[in-house]
Structure 1
Amino acid sequence: MAATKYTEDSIKSLEWHEHIRLRPGMYIGKLGDGQSPDDGIYVLVKEIIDNSIDEFVMGAGKKIEINIDDHAARVRDYGRGIPLGKVIDCVSKINTGGKYDSEAFQKSVGLNGVGTKAVNALSTKFIVKSYRDGRMKQAEFSRGVLVQDYKECATNEKNGTEIYFEPDADIFKNYRFLPAYMEEKVWNYAYLNNGLQLVMNDKVYTSPNGLLDLLNKHVDDSIRYPVIHFKGKDIECAFTHGNQYGEHYYSFVNGQHTTQGGTHQQAFREGLVKGARDHFKKDLDPQDVRNCVIGAISVRIQEPVFESQTKTKLGSTTVAPGGAQLRSWVVDYVASEFDNFLHKNPETEKALLNRITQNERERKEIAGIKKLANERAKKANLHNRKLRDCKIHLTDVKNALNRESMIFITEGDSASGSITKARNVQTQAVFSLRGKPLNSFGMTKKVVYENEEFNLLQHALDIENGLENLRYDKVIIATDADVDGMHIRLLLMTFFLQFFPELVEQKHLYILQTPLFRVRNKQVTKYCYDEAERDKAAKEIGKTGLEITRFKGLGEISPEEFGQFINEDMRLETVSIPPDASLGKMLEYYMGNNTPMRQEHIVLNLRAEAVEEL
């Protein structure tokens, strides 16, 4: 085969907006349609709000107004306003901004001058207004291209910046802003910025007690002692112990929610262990100290280093105040404050020791069965018929495709067979269930080792000791869209929420949406995910030669068709915990022994919908 010519003409230079539009994932992570809390449209809003938050942190403006509808967002702050002569540059020239000089923005979230430009490039309509000392400058863009440069004029508006944008529907297919996801993000801004008033769609969000308010909103009456809360210069933390397995953390850097944790969160965990060991003068096992912890930490540091533009994980190690190492600064602060607090609060000290002792007793009780179960799992892994593994895993940090690794958990051999034949063997694994898994609600972690299927599943994911060695970025529940499939889905979600809630909190657990209908004639085939899509497709195709097939199970979908649903056009729904929900109460309501209460809820919320005749 002849070699492709490589000449001067082969070298291309893209305009800034062209590069962002060509590679949006580099700037905002995944795209999505707004059905998941980490979809790109929410990152766009966050990038704009972050700039307004930075103004507040610098002492300029105590109010931020946010208006969100299905397809547009507006953010108005009352900070200093962008210098009028630089308004266009600040939203359309990469590496232009006021955050490179640490004296101006000492502990900012946005550091590299990209965020607002990415919003501009990825919006069909982007309007920026700056109000400054009785003067206003306005400019309008479309997909990063300036379409209207308004002359500077007088105004009665208070100082500040206002940005309105409409995400590009060509990039964010069928997108819609969901209020619940936006509300969680706005509450986080309130918790981290005492004295700031946020107003979103006329609802006011404020938090006088910071992380203490955050944790009190997320815990229930099953906690072992009242939330402990410390606040110092550039650091704040809060924590308690509950009855849910695992460790639950909310971590932030300069106001950014680091959902994947990082250096500061790891140091917080170490500080809790050190503080307990120092106080009780015992070499306590870290698992016993941290199991069932519910905690939150926020730090403000200069020039934080994140692992990506989306800033979900902190990679900094040496940028704590005074040039100290971040890890040692956090560990020492948490341990010292924890130790001092326990000396002054004997009731909390007693409750904490009881929780640690209970964790230790449970750990030792399952030590024997854990050893046997792990030995069985190791043998099974050599010829594990349940797992069809892929070649690239999340732990392969040197492989650029590691973030694309995923595992489908299927019911039965027929469904797993179709997915196995259609999957990408590089990044897609399949784990096949034998049938309906056990309802693990209310059980101890002993059941994870006693139940062979659960044990093999935790080993396939490698999450026995936390998420540090998680082998797949996405854990996808792929069940039939019938009653039995929904039941299996619930049982699996209960298993993960009960014993590995971090998997859900860090947005690794998903539901695969598979089509319910195939609508076609000899020329056109459309796959539909609900009745509304089916009816719409049928009308578009017409009655001549129309054929509508209802898929009863995944096993009925051919491997050729499945390849489209898990590669080209995969629809995933993120499993997430509602921002105002108690995990313990939620599990008890849906999976506990309160059948009459659930039955009453179902009866009261039944809906009857008329289906239009085709």
Structure 2
Amino acid sequence: MTAAQEAASNYSEEHIQTLDWKEHIRRRPGMYIGKLGDGSQPDDGIYILIKEVLDNSLDEYMMGFGKQIEINVEETTVTIRDYGRGIPLGKLEEVASKMNTGAKYDSKAFKKSVGLNGVGIKAVNALSSTFTITSTRDGEARTIEFAAGRKVGEHTDSTGEKNGTRVQFVADVAVFGAYRYNFEYIETMLRNYTYLNAGLVIRFNGVPYVSKHGLLDLLTESVGGDFLYPPIHLKGEDIEVAMTHGNGYNESYYSFVNGQHTTQGGTHQAAFREAVVKTVREFYKKDFDAADIRTSIIAAISIKVEEPVFESQTKTKLGSKEMSPDGVTVRNFVIDFLKEHLDNYLHKNPETADILLKKIQEAEKERKAISGIQKKAREFAKKVSLHNKKLRDCRVHLGDKDERAEESAIFITEGDSASGSITKSRDVNTQAVFSLRGKPLNTYGLTKKIVYENEEFNLLQAALNIEEDMDNLRYNKVIIATDADVDGMHIRLLLITFFLQFFPDIIRGGHLYILQTPLFRVRNKKETRYCYTETERQQAIAQLGANPEITRFKGLGEISPNEFKEFIGEGMRLEKVRLTKGDPIADLLEFYMGKNTQERQDFIIDNLKIEEDLIEELENAQLLARAVDGEEDEQPAEAI
């Protein structure tokens, strides 16, 4: 019997399994909520659970019922209460626990909803250790309790409370592992909901969030005051647009469909980009290059679509082509709206039109000025791409049809010794290494011309594949891996400045990270501890007893490849570089990376920590260790 025949004979009816709804969700949670995570990233599953419940409450508001939603998060317990119509009491159990059940299938009840298919609330139920749902309608309230999707109790009571639905759940640690909610991520989510629904009040742990001007508020708060002209705000039936231009180079978009933040864009965002170019060309009667028109554009677009088709359950990218049963496409709908309303706005606001024209002309002038340099730089990058000594590439990249594509990462290191250690200990399938010669150029205040003139920046841009846009970014994580000393910190700042100046979407998209590596190794004959902070070092000294061997890692090159595996594997500590609406980017760059002002000199002098202070701290730590061990007369630990 051949191996194939034997395999076939071993495959029988007993190998076919039929899972009920909750078992399938718990075994394959990624199909319903994306990745799991521990709460350290805004797209982790615990936040998707909150979003799924909120989407149902938002649908009620969009249908004209309930002007307020309350959400409370206390440690791992989440409670969401809306004041809509309330789920019909007789169908409450089916809505919470039976697939293919929900009002979203009835287009008369929910024409343009967010929670499209009723799957989300069932996923929350199945993935929660406790899940309680209460519907209140006309003085009567029905409550049903579940555990991991299994019904464990119910009761019906008379009540004086207002109509609406209340959901309380605890995400199951058996599925998610240890996790913690980051309130900042939740606040960002809630702000987006209010921007898209002017007048809606969402109270988060008692704090109200509300927007008066919709997407105009989103743009103003996200960008601050860093734009060339007052944002253009256009509203129509089923569409709202806000746009302006900034001082950078990249395009920045916030796109939404039926209140859902489509972080990966889709049909509507592509149509908007096309529509802006068409409208501007026709208004100025000049065939401007599309890149010159869209350079530094900052825009938000929200549309409402009947029966939209998203590319996944997490609804981050719109795939719909049809706008409505009459056959109007999303593309044509957006283009027709912009051609009329943006054109009218520019005619009525000549000052804005003049500023926009000047911006386009400056972008065109700069593009032409560097076109020759670009061509040579591209040719150079192409020649070295096959034997680029600076890049040690990996096999799997972001965008590949591979289950590990999301794990793809590139470490940007300083010098050969550091890159050598990482290269020898990395996962060659998903981890690439790019080596810098030393400190890169400070790009603050420079034009994009420097990206092509500077060999290292040109090769880095080519390695990341981000010259045109972010769509072809080759790595999900761009990790700055430098020594934890003054020079290493300086290189971090220089690289962050580079990305902020020319490729801010790397940061906005959550792709830029700082690798945290241990500062100390503390060990005795039985145990080794790696310490990332001074506090951890002191704790290790106290716990390992008197006279442990203490090593201070002065650079990444001092860490052996065998040790490095621990720091870039499953337990890798990464700190995400993030931009928030409150970050005064221009001011921070000017202060830290601009000319050496007296203000910065005074700041450095006022915050210096002299060597004597550090020595005193070290001696105190050693005394503490000996006191804990009861051996105050022992010799001190190895000096650092």
The 5 Å alignment of 1:171-570 reads 171-319=175-323, 322-396=326-400, 398-518=401-521, 527-533=530-536, 543=545, 549-570=551-572
CA distance in 1, matches of 2:523, 2:15: 43
Does the C-alpha gap of structure 1 residues 548 and 487 become closer, same or farther in structure 2, counting only changes over 3 Å? same
Is the contact made by 1:246 and 1:293 (CA closer than 8 Å) also made in structure 2?
yes
Number of corresponding residues: 611
Is the contact made by 2:255 and 2:261 (CA closer than 8 Å) also made in structure 1?
yes
CA deviations 1:351-373 (Å, max 9, x no partner) are: 11111111111111111111111
Letter in 2 for 1:560: N
CA displacement at 1:94 relative to structure 2: 3.2
- 1:65 aligned onto 2:70: yes
CA displacement at 1:281 relative to structure 2: 0.8
Aligned to 1:46: 51
SS at match of 2:568: helix
CA displacement at 1:117 relative to structure 2: 2.4
CA displacement at 1:458 relative to structure 2: 0.4
CA distance in 2, matches of 1:605, 1:68: 38
Is the contact made by 1:35 and 1:573 (CA closer than 8 Å) also made in structure 2?
no
SS at match of 1:94: coil
Aligned to 2:581: 579
- 1:92 aligned onto 2:94: no
Letter in 2 for 1:145: R
Does the C-alpha gap of structure 1 residues 382 and 187 become closer, same or farther in structure 2, counting only changes over 3 Å? same
Is the contact made by 1:393 and 1:472 (CA closer than 8 Å) also made in structure 2?
yes
Is the contact made by 1:407 and 1:431 (CA closer than 8 Å) also made in structure 2?
yes
Does the C-alpha gap of structure 1 residues 288 and 153 become closer, same or farther in structure 2, counting only changes over 3 Å? same
CA distance in 2, matches of 1:9, 1:399: 30
CA distance in 2, matches of 1:551, 1:16: 52
CA distance in 2, matches of 1:517, 1:76: 48
Is the contact made by 1:244 and 1:584 (CA closer than 8 Å) also made in structure 2?
no
SS at match of 1:153: strand
Aligned to 2:637: none
CA displacement at 1:145 relative to structure 2: 3.1
CA deviations 1:351-410 (Å, max 9, x no partner) are: 1111111111111111111111111111121210011112222243x4343333222212
CA distance in 1, matches of 2:547, 2:372: 64
Equivalent position to 1:105, from 106, 110, 115: 110
Does the C-alpha gap of structure 1 residues 336 and 155 become closer, same or farther in structure 2, counting only changes over 3 Å? same
CA displacement at 1:18 relative to structure 2: 3.2
CA displacement at 1:254 relative to structure 2: 1.0
Letter in 2 for 1:342: L
Is the contact made by 1:124 and 1:167 (CA closer than 8 Å) also made in structure 2?
yes
CA displacement at 1:525 relative to structure 2: 5.0
Letter in 2 for 1:195: G
Does the C-alpha gap of structure 1 residues 26 and 326 become closer, same or farther in structure 2, counting only changes over 3 Å? same
SS at match of 1:152: strand
CA distance in 1, matches of 2:569, 2:92: 42
Letter in 1 for 2:461: Q
CA deviations 1:470-495 (Å, max 9, x no partner) are: 22222222223333222222221111
CA distance in 2, matches of 1:196, 1:6: 56
SS at match of 2:133: strand
CA distance in 2, matches of 1:31, 1:124: 15
Does the C-alpha gap of structure 1 residues 603 and 185 become closer, same or farther in structure 2, counting only changes over 3 Å? farther
Does the C-alpha gap of structure 1 residues 458 and 47 become closer, same or farther in structure 2, counting only changes over 3 Å? same
Is the contact made by 1:247 and 1:290 (CA closer than 8 Å) also made in structure 2?
yes
Q: Percent identity among equivalent residues?
A: 60
CA deviations 1:540-582 (Å, max 9, x no partner) are: x653996555444332333333334333223333322113334
CA deviations 1:568-601 (Å, max 9, x no partner) are: 2233333221133344344334433375545666
Is the contact made by 1:218 and 1:581 (CA closer than 8 Å) also made in structure 2?
no
CA deviations 1:233-276 (Å, max 9, x no partner) are: 11100111111221111111111111221211111111111110
Does the C-alpha gap of structure 1 residues 34 and 499 become closer, same or farther in structure 2, counting only changes over 3 Å? same
Is the contact made by 2:523 and 2:544 (CA closer than 8 Å) also made in structure 1?
no
CA displacement at 1:84 relative to structure 2: 1.9
TM-score, with length taken from structure 1: 0.92
| Higher mean C-alpha displacement, 400-409 vs 499-508 | 400-409
Letter in 2 for 1:177: Y
Letter in 2 for 1:16: W
Does the C-alpha gap of structure 1 residues 8 and 524 become closer, same or farther in structure 2, counting only changes over 3 Å? farther
CA displacement at 1:77 relative to structure 2: 0.7
Is the contact made by 1:522 and 1:545 (CA closer than 8 Å) also made in structure 2?
no
CA displacement at 1:329 relative to structure 2: 1.6
Aligned to 2:633: none
Letter in 2 for 1:576: R
SS at match of 2:230: coil
- 1:80 aligned onto 2:85: yes
Does the C-alpha gap of structure 1 residues 594 and 245 become closer, same or farther in structure 2, counting only changes over 3 Å? farther
CA displacement at 1:37 relative to structure 2: 2.1
Aligned to 1:26: 31
RMSD after superposition: 2.8
Letter in 2 for 1:473: N
Is the contact made by 1:36 and 1:573 (CA closer than 8 Å) also made in structure 2?
no
CA displacement at 1:445 relative to structure 2: 0.4
Is the contact made by 2:223 and 2:581 (CA closer than 8 Å) also made in structure 1?
no
CA displacement at 1:158 relative to structure 2: 0.8
SS at match of 2:428: coil
Is the contact made by 1:521 and 1:544 (CA closer than 8 Å) also made in structure 2?
no
CA distance in 1, matches of 2:336, 2:536: 57
Aligned to 2:636: none
SS at match of 2:104: coil
State which structure, 1 or 2, has the greater radius of gyration over its C-alpha atoms. Answer: 2
Is the contact made by 1:389 and 1:429 (CA closer than 8 Å) also made in structure 2?
yes
Aligned to 1:588: 590
Is the contact made by 1:509 and 1:575 (CA closer than 8 Å) also made in structure 2?
yes
Q: Which has the higher contact order (CA 8 A, sep 6+)?
A: 1
Does the C-alpha gap of structure 1 residues 555 and 266 become closer, same or farther in structure 2, counting only changes over 3 Å? same
Equivalent position to 1:14, from 13, 19, 22: 19
| Higher mean C-alpha displacement, 248-257 vs 221-230 | 221-230
CA distance in 2, matches of 1:302, 1:100: 11
CA displacement at 1:296 relative to structure 2: 0.6
CA distance in 2, matches of 1:349, 1:414: 54
CA displacement at 1:53 relative to structure 2: 0.7
CA distance in 1, matches of 2:311, 2:537: 42
CA distance in 2, matches of 1:565, 1:141: 40
Letter in 1 for 2:565: G
CA distance in 2, matches of 1:545, 1:98: 69
Letter in 1 for 2:190: V
Does the C-alpha gap of structure 1 residues 262 and 524 become closer, same or farther in structure 2, counting only changes over 3 Å? farther
Is the contact made by 1:109 and 1:256 (CA closer than 8 Å) also made in structure 2?
yes
Letter in 1 for 2:425: A
CA distance in 2, matches of 1:116, 1:545: 57
